């Protein structure tokens, strides 16, 4: 099979044998792939710097027709994110992005918009005042790309427009907002403030409303809890990096 070239974000590496590495890469053109980098741990490796975790590299991949790992033949560093080296909170947020890309996406299922969103988010994680919003925005982008974006403007069961009030019912397992008629009998229902739903709508929308919106710490915490509940439901467990997020 012909070799494929793509930009790739390194989301995981595992040392194998004496000198080789298996890398999990989230590529722009091919989606998530796992590839063997022969000699990737040698001092004079041809992949020098190209397999650094949370770095973007220009890779060449030789696909295998069988169930064997693809073969990585080139990996040249393209972009590194300095804020991840000097800010521990930014680094943990970067690890969280890598975890979501690893666990929420399927192999060989391209999501170029999600690749671009991850790259942009990693560039700006050093801006502490907006870090939590950027991570939330990325979480929502992940859910949208895999077809599991929660419904925020109408009932996720019957489709009736959301009734405005101080709070609304939200079902992580049922796909979003629930109207009073559909709430009874639904599992794991949360009560979420109206302002939190509005904040999530701004965070999920294009434009700068997510930057300009005034959000108190409690509102931001509520938004994180709501989106986190959806992601935990999709994964079947709470993300491993969640307790360390400094956002």
Distance CA 57, CA 40 (A): 14
Laid out side by side, the sheet with 167-171 consists of 176-178, 167-171, 190-193
Residue ranges of the chain with per-residue pLDDT less than 70: 1, 66-67, 246-247
- pLDDT per position as a tens digit, 157-170: 999 999 888 999 99
User: Collapsing DSSP states into helix, strand and coil, what is residue 39?
Assistant: coil
- The radius of gyration computed from the CA coordinates of the chain, to the nearest angstrom, equals 20
The CATH fold assigned to 83-151+163-244 is: de novo design (two linked rop proteins) (1.20.1440)
- How much is the pLDDT for 204? 95
SS3 annotation, 185-228? CCCCCEEEEHHHHHHHHHHHCCCCHHHHCCCCHHHHHHHHHHHH
Distance CA 62, CA 200 (A): 41
Partners of residue 15 on adjacent β-strands: 21
Residue 79 token pair:
């972009």
H or E, element range at 56: strand 56-62
Buried b (16+ CB within 10 A) or exposed e, 59-86: bebebeeeeebbebbbbebeeebebbee
Residue 224 token pair:
């994180």
- pLDDT per position as a tens digit, 56-100: 999 999 988 766 789 999 999 999 999 999 999 999 999 999 999
Cβ(44)–Cβ(59) below 8 Å: no
Cβ(127)–Cβ(120) below 8 Å: no
- How much is the pLDDT for 247? 52
- How much is the pLDDT for 246? 57
- How much is the pLDDT for 113? 97
Question: pTM higher than 0.75, yes or no?
Answer: yes
- pLDDT per position as a tens digit, 212-223: 998 888 899 999
Distance CA 92, CA 86 (A): 12
The CATH fold assigned to 4-79 is: OB fold (Dihydrolipoamide Acetyltransferase, E2P) (2.40.50)
Provide the 8-state DSSP code for 163. P
Cα–Cα distance list, 120 to 73, 110, 148 (Å): 27, 17, 22
Phi-psi region of 238 (alpha: psi -120 to 50; beta: other; left: phi over 0): beta
Cβ(9)–Cβ(37) below 8 Å: no
Residue 197 token pair:
């739903």
- How much is the pLDDT for 1? 63
Q: Where are the beta strands (DSSP E) in 80-180?
A: 167-171, 176-178
Q: What residue segments make up the domains of the chain, in order of their start?
A: 4-79, 83-151+163-244
């Amino acid at each position: 099979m012909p070799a494929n070239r793509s930009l790739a974000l390194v989301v995981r590496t595992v040392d194998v044998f004496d000198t080789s590495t298996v890398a999990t890469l989230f590529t722009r053109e091919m989606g998530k792939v796992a590839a063997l980098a022969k000699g990737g741990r040698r001092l004079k490796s041809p992949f020098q710097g190209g397999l650094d975790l949370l770095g973007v590299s220009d890779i060449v991949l030789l696909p295998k027709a069988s169930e064997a790992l693809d073969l990585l033949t080139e990996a040249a560093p393209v972009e590194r994110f300095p804020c991840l080296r000097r800010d521990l909170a930014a680094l943990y947020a970067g690890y969280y992005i890598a975890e979501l890309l690893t666990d929420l996406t399927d192999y060989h299922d391209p999501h170029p918009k999600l690749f671009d969103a991850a790259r942009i988010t990693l560039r700006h994680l050093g801006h502490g005042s907006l870090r939590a919003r950027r991570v939330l925005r990325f979480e929502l982008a992940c859910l949208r790309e895999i077809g599991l974006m929660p419904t925020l403007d109408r009932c996720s069961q019957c489709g009736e427009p959301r009734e405005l009030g101080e709070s609304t019912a939200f079902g992580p397992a049922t796909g979003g907002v629930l109207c009073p008629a559909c709430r009874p009998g639904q599992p794991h229902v949360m009560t979420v403030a109206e302002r939190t739903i509005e904040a999530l709508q701004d965070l999920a929308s294009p434009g700068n409303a997510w930057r300009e919106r005034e959000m108190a710490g409690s509102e931001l915490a509520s938004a994180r809890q709501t989106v986190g509940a959806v992601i935990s439901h999709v994964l079947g467990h709470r993300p491993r990096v969640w307790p360390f997020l400094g956002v």
